């Protein structure tokens, strides 16, 4: 077994008749390398030809930010409007939104508690009054907060949410390609447009650091600099400058 043969095998991996992504190819190659390494350590091979396979560079899809009209059109075209609005205004990861229960909502504070995020920590996310009104909270606390109206969206499966809900709705609304993660980006952009600062957005999204927030959304904050200058000028002209003690 030669390295060139394995490299050709990796390059030819397909899923559903289409070339696999760089991530899938890398996982397959790494699994093979691990198996061959075991054989090598047992003396069944003289070398591990899979140790230096190349998988190409991963290509990241550019973040997409929907405006309010596009988000509304997506929700209206969707079979699960409440889910679209929650994702598009709360910035949850799909797995987080699917895991929410009725008991995670505090309507008096207008907050939803994400019990466990990607970094393992919980966080509170503000929920818009209009979105809160879409939620049926008169149910046992342990029930899922967001349930598909037809009960056939693939239960708690995030891929089914994307493929059976978001993708068809985007096509119907004429929005092209939209993913569940685009709705997370959308929520961040809307929060920034509403005046949220970096730390607020970091807290809302559950980013491990403000650096990650700035790396992803820093260009959106730049548009607010003119507004900051105008507010500062107004304070100076009116003498209404806050004192920090």
Greater pLDDT, 44 or 123: 123
Widest Cα–Cα separation across the chain:
83
pLDDT band at 208 (very low <50, low <70, confident <90, very high): confident
Quickly tell me which residue has 């061959």 as its tokens.
Answer: 36
Residue 237 sits at φ, ψ, to 5 deg, of -65, -35
- In this predicted model, what pLDDT tens digit does every residue of 67-107 receive, in sequence order? 999 999 999 999 999 999 999 999 999 999 999 999 999 99
Q: What is the mean pLDDT of residues 198-223?
A: 89
Greater pLDDT, 42 or 116: 42
Question: What are 64's two structure tokens?
Answer: 């997409």
SS (H, E, C) the chain: CCHHHHHHHHHCCEECCEECCHHHHHHHHHHHHHHHHHHHHCCCCCCCCCCCCCCCCCCCCCCCCCCHHHHHHHHHHCCCHHHHHHHHHHCCCHHHHHHCEHHHEECCCCEEEECCCCCCCCEEEECCHHHHCCCCCCCCCCCECCCCCCCCCCCCCHHHHHHHHHHHHHHHCCCCCCCHHHHHHHHHHHHHHCCCCHHHHHHHHCCCCHHHHHHHHHHHHHCCHHHHHHHHHHHHHHCCCCCCC
- Domain parsing of the chain, residue ranges: 1-59, 68-226
Residue 3 has pLDDT above 80, yes or no: no
Greater pLDDT, 224 or 58: 224
Residue 202 has pLDDT above 60, yes or no: yes
pLDDT band at 1 (very low <50, low <70, confident <90, very high): low
The CATH H-level (homologous superfamily) assignment of domain 68-226 is Intergrase catalytic core (1.10.443.10)
Question: What are 22's two structure tokens?
Answer: 């760089």
Residue 167 has pLDDT above 70, yes or no: yes
Greater pLDDT, 34 or 177: 177
pLDDT band at 169 (very low <50, low <70, confident <90, very high): very high
β-bridge mates for residue 106, sequence order = 111
Instruction: Please tell me the pTM assigned to this model.
Output: 0.71
Q: Specify the pLDDT at position 195.
A: 86
Question: What are 219's two structure tokens?
Answer: 């260009």
Q: What is the mean pLDDT of residues 203-223?
A: 88
Residue 58 has pLDDT above 70, yes or no: no
Q: Specify the pLDDT at position 125.
A: 96
Average pLDDT of the chain, as a whole number: 86
């Amino acid at each position: 077994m030669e390295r060139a043969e394995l490299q050709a095998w990796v390059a030819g991996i397909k899923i559903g008749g289409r070339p696999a992504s760089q991530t899938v190819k890398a996982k397959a190659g790494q699994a093979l390398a691990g198996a061959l390494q075991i054989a090598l350590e047992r003396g069944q091979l003289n070398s591990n030809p899979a140790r230096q396979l190349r998988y190409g560079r991963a290509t990241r899809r550019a973040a997409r930010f929907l405006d309010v009209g596009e988000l509304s059109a997506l929700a209206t075209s969707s079979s699960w409007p409440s889910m679209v609005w929650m994702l598009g205004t709360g910035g949850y990861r799909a797995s987080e939104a699917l895991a929410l229960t009725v008991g995670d909502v505090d309507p008096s504070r207008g907050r939803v508690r994400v019990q466990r995020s990607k970094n393992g920590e919980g966080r509170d996310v503000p929920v818009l009054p209009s979105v809160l009104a879409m939620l049926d909270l008169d149910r046992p606390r342990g029930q899922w907060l967001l349930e598909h109206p037809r009960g056939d969206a693939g239960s708690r499966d995030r891929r089914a949410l994307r493929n059976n809900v978001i993708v068809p709705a985007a096509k119907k609304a004429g929005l092209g390609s939209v993913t569940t993660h685009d709705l997370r980006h959308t929520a961040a952009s809307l929060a920034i447009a509403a005046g949220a600062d970096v730390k607020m957005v970091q807290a809302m999204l559950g980013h491990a650091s403000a650096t990650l927030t700035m790396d992803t959304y820093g260009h959106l904050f730049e548009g607010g600099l003119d507004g900051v200058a105008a507010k500062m000028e107004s304070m100076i002209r009116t003498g209404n400058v806050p004192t920090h003690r």
